[in-house]
Amino acid sequence: MENREIAKAVIDAVGGEENINSIAHCATRLRVMVHDEDRIDKKRVENIEKVKGAFFNSGQYQIIFGTGTVNKIYDEVMQLGVTGTTKEEIKKETRNEGNFFKRAIRTFGDVFVPIIPVLVATGLFMGLRGLLTQPEILGLFGMTPESISENFLLYTQVLTDTAFAFLPALVAWSTFRVFGGSPVIGIVLGLMLVNPALPNAYAVAAGDAEPIMLFSFIPIVGYQGTVLPAFIAGIIGAKLEKKLHQWVSETFDLLVTPFVTLLVMSVLSLIVIGPVFHSFENVVLNATQWILQLPLGLAGLIIGGLNQVIVVTGVHHIFNFLEVQLLTNLGENPFNALITSGMAA
């Protein structure tokens, strides 16, 4: 079948154009919001050529076509006169659907998915640096590790360390964006959490620096490489900013709202949110590492076996948090290797 015929078949199978509220696509799936789910002929949809599966989740009927193909089918659907929408608009329509847990996980994914490309690029830079600095590779060009320029090593360090060093800024920016706050305030709040004036978290962990003790029992440190403190601070900060926009008169809003938001959230983040949620973050990370270190391939059986079931429920976005933490703290992501093998199997 030609792509135009496939597009027509999809429209007919989901109940016709009149049953389509909006339609968008992601990297692999055509996402259709329908007025009446009962009008969808699900067996017919799954038998259409190039369709690799379909399911209804979070208010969307998601038809899997695969990377590249879905873009072409979407274009054909648009040319047939169906009203489309952006993926962000469809997320807004579905944000309040489903139970609290599903809505929370969906929001988690909305925050972390936009950050993933940067982390992927950083990982590729790490791999490339590791390859180019191998003695065997250098030997092909008549070089040794000692002959590598210090400036070159410094440049590769900039490429590989920046995203993780300022990870809280990325997380806070994305969280503010998702929760309706000003992303630029999120960036500044995230940068405050890793300000060089604070004791570096890695240096404190290594015993090379001491935390600042507030009231003799609250440790104040930078939050380099952390995720959860910036995420929680972003949620509260965005909600506070929106409330301030309602309370403060338009005359003073431009000055007062950012000032109060950053003042309140910087204090809360460093004194309350940071210490509490960083401790919780460590518990989750340690539990994940314990599972990954199970003997006899048990980690692969547990994680690989459950992954696809979890993906179908849409809860898999919470894994983004775990993977970011593993990369930040270990410099590697064995969790992804297991779920990738599970998907391939």
Which residues belong to the active site? 26
For residue 325, what are its two tokens?
Answer: 């933490």
- DSSP tally for the chain: helices H, then strands E: 18, 6
Q: How far apart are CA 10 and CA 289, in angstroms?
A: 44
Q: How far apart are CA 40 and CA 9, in angstroms?
A: 12
Among 85, 84, 179, 167, smallest CA distance to 122 is for: 167
Q: How far apart are CA 149 and CA 147, in angstroms?
A: 6
Q: How far apart are CA 296 and CA 34, in angstroms?
A: 47
**Exposed / middle / buried, residue 212 (Cβ in 10 Å: 0-12, 13-18, 19+):** middle
Q: How far apart are CA 339 and CA 345, in angstroms?
A: 10
Q: How far is CA 135 from CA 94, 132, 150, 186, in A?
A: 53, 8, 16, 43
For residue 95, what are its two tokens?
Answer: 């944000």
Query: Residue 5 in 3-state DSSP?
Result: helix
Q: Which residues contact 171 (CB under 8 A, 6 or more apart)?
A: 111, 112, 115, 190, 227, 230, 231, 234
